Amino acid sequence: MATYAIGDIQGCFDALEFLLEKISFDERKDSLWFAGDLVNRGDKSLETLRFIKNLGDQAITVLGNHDLTLLALSEGSEKIRHHTLDDILNAPDRQELIDWLRCQPLLHHDEKLGYTMIHAGLPPQWDLALAQQCAQELEQVLSSDHYRDFLTHMFGNQPRKWQDTLQGWDRLRFITNSFTRMRYCKPSGKLNFNDKGIIGSQKEGYIPWYEVPERKSRDLNLIFGHWSTLFGHTSQANVYALDTGCLWGGSLTAMRLDSSEPEFVMVECETPGSYL
C-alpha cells in the first residue's frame, strides 16, 4: 500500500501511464496525489482527466491554473486564445468531467503522512489554518451553483498583496492567484506574475515564495507543481517542487510519501507515442 505525489501532467497521458507502470501502481490499494495542471498543452488531456476521475477515492488532486482555464472555457470565456482543450470541450461526458473538476480542492493536508499539497504557492502571511480557510472559501464557490459568476471575475493580477480585509471578487481572485499562479514575491508578500523563469532571472527585490524569511508556512512539508524551471530543485529540505517539465521534454516525477524518507521516481518525457 503506497502513496505517491505526481507533478504537473498537462495532458501527457502516455508519460503518466509509463510512470505508473514504473512504480507498479495498483489502484486497488495504492493512492495518488496530483499537484494540479492535469490538462492543457499536451495531446491527451481528455484521457488524463477521465483516468484520474475514474480512480475515485484512490486519487487526490488540487486545482492548477490550467484546470481553471478549462473551467472558464467550458463557460464560454473569450479571454483564452490558445489551448489544446477542444477534445474535452467536445466530449460526450464533458459536463460530468467539468462538474467533477470544479469540486476538487485547492489544498490538501494529510496530518498522518505529514505533507501539504498545493499547485503554486502560499503567501508568507498564511499559516496552515489561514491557507485552509482561504482554500475552503474558493472551493465553496467553485462547487456551488454560483461558480459561473466567479469564473467571469477570476482573471486579473490585482490585488497583489494579501490583506485580511479583502472582500468579494478581489479576495477570491487573490486566493486563486496564490494557489494557482504565484512564483516570486517580495518579502512583504507582493506577488510578481511577470517573471516565470529560473531563479536569478526575476526582477530585483523579488524572491521565490518559499524563500521568504519567516513565512508562516515554513514548518510544513510542502508539495507543489507549477514551476517547471525549478526542475525539482529548491533551497529548502521540506519544500518539494514536482513539476519537472514533462511537457517541455523534461520528466514526469512521482514522490513516495509513505516511506521513511521521500523517494523519487522519474520517467523521461519525449514525443507523444514514444512510450508505446
Q: What is the pLDDT of residue 185?
A: 97
* pLDDT at position 183: 97
Query: For 14-67, how does the pLDDT look when each residue is reduced to its tens digit (9 = 90+)?
Result: 999 999 999 999 999 999 999 999 999 999 999 999 999 999 999 999 999 999
Across 7-11, average pLDDT: 96
How many angstroms separate the Cα of 276 from the Cα of each of 3, 21, 249, 271?
A: 26, 12, 17, 11
pLDDT 10s digits, 139-149: 999 999 999 99
* pLDDT score for 205: 96
- 274 pLDDT exceeds 80? no
Confidence category of residue 81, pLDDT binned at 50, 70, 90:
confident
Domain 3-268 is of which CATH architecture? 4-Layer Sandwich (3.60)
CA-CA distance, 181 to 174, in Å (whole number)?
10
- Global pTM reads 0.95
